[in-house]
């Protein structure tokens, strides 16, 4: 248990998440801010008759550019909120990350701090306690704060909530782009992803994380934006579909090229594996200038996997620099 909790200045709709939390009352009423967003993104309204502290998590149909799931949280009853209710909501969200390995980044507002009348410091504490009690270790709860004055106050407060602004080590999030060349190739890709996950990397794969009915290009766009690293597994089919802009690989190519253009020159976000005996047959034109691991069937799989981990974790391969020989040292 024990996920990560962070404070963030801004709107929870500013960028993609795996799940967003929207506040409502026990009778289903919502704030004007939330109402405007429901209309803007065609979000369904929350159900009525929820108990105080209850959470209703449903697929975010039609708004996958925001998140895969939306959680309606009954944070207000009448004209007030209770600290225990906010903590219960956070527990439910944390538990959902245990049940769904696709949900790792969650965005929430300061539940109960507006219409519910709770102090922001109390809300942060309650969200932190509940989430860290039940969440998956690699899950991250982002508490979005709209007003800078409140954000600055929470940053400088001497309460225990101060630690939530610090980001402990969480697994690297890595998106895998590949072409479904064959059932055997798909299985190999899944095995690589499993290997990475077993070595502390949150490898994201459509075989596991793409929810049925989701818009595929939007899911890809979200994953690219949320990823710390992107692993492109290329072969002759990937190259062909990339250059002809066919299917999912065609969409990914356009998205990847756009994202690459925004990266600094020394960016190491993208890593390429070429799984083709003849290297040039497996490399799309837009990747020919990138460093790649040539992964053929003739190589030692264990060594290649070890090399892949070193690249992802940016392990320094050069031996340490020793002292200059005394004969060359001037007094």
Mind listing the pLDDT tens digit for each residue in 188-201?
Answer: 999 999 999 988 89
Q: What is the pLDDT of residue 164?
A: 46
All structural domains of the chain with their residue ranges: 4-165, 172-312
Q: Residue 143's pLDDT band (boundaries 50, 70, 90)?
A: very high
Residue 331 has pLDDT above 70, yes or no: no
So what CATH class is 172-312? alpha beta
Give me the mean pLDDT over the 304-314 stretch: 88
How many CA atoms lie within 13 Å of 166's alpha carbon, on the beta-carbon side?
7
Percentage of the chain modeled with pLDDT above 90: 33
Max CA separation in the chain (angstroms):
84
Give me the mean pLDDT over the 177-188 stretch: 90
Which range scores top for mean pLDDT: 21-25, 41-45, 68-72, 271-275?
271-275
Q: Residue 302's pLDDT band (boundaries 50, 70, 90)?
A: confident
Residue 88 has pLDDT above 50, yes or no: yes
Euclidean distance between CA atoms 261 and 244, whole angstroms: 20
Q: Which fold has domain 4-165?
A: 3.40.220
Q: Residue 163's pLDDT band (boundaries 50, 70, 90)?
A: very low
Q: What is the pLDDT of residue 220?
A: 84
Its pTM stands at 0.74
The count of residues in the chain is: 331
Residue 318 has pLDDT above 50, yes or no: yes
| Residues ≥6 apart with Cβ < 8 Å to 172 | 200, 201, 202, 228, 229, 312, 313
């Amino acid at each position: 248990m024990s996920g990560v909790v962070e404070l963030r200045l801004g709107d929870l709709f500013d960028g993609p998440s795996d799940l967003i939390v929207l506040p409502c009352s026990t009778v289903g009423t919502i704030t004007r801010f939330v109402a405007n967003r429901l209309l803007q993104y065609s979000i369904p309204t929350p159900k009525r008759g929820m108990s105080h502290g209850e959470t209703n998590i449903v697929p975010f149909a039609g708004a996958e550019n925001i998140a895969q799931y939306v959680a309606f949280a009954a944070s207000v009853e009448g004209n007030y909120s209770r600290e225990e209710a906010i903590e219960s909501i956070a527990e439910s969200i944390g538990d959902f990350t245990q049940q769904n390995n696709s949900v790792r980044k969650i965005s929430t507002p300061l539940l109960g701090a507006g219409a519910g009348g709770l102090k922001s410091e109390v809300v942060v504490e309650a969200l932190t306690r509940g989430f860290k009690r039940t969440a998956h270790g690699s899950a991250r709860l982002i508490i979005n704060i709209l007003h800078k004055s409140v954000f600055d106050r929470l940053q400088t407060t001497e309460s225990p909530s101060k630690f939530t602004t610090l980001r402990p080590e969480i697994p690297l999030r890595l998106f895998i782009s590949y072409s479904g060349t064959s059932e055997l190739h798909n299985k190999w890709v899944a095995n690589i992803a499993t290997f990475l996950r077993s070595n502390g990397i949150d490898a994201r794969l459509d075989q596991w994380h793409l929810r049925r009915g989701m818009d595929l290009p939007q899911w890809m766009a979200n994953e690219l934006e949320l990823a710390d690293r992107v692993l492109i597994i290329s072969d002759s089919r990937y190259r062909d579909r990339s250059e002809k802009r066919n299917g999912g690989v065609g969409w990914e190519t356009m998205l990847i090229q756009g994202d690459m253009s925004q990266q600094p020159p020394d960016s190491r976000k993208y890593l390429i594996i070429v799984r083709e005996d003849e290297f040039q047959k497996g490399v799309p034109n837009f990747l020919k200038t990138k460093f790649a691991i040539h992964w053929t069937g003739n190589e030692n799989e264990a060594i290649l996997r070890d090399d892949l981990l070193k690249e992802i974790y940016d392990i320094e391969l050069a031996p340490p620099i020793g002292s200059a020989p005394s004969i060359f040292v001037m007094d």
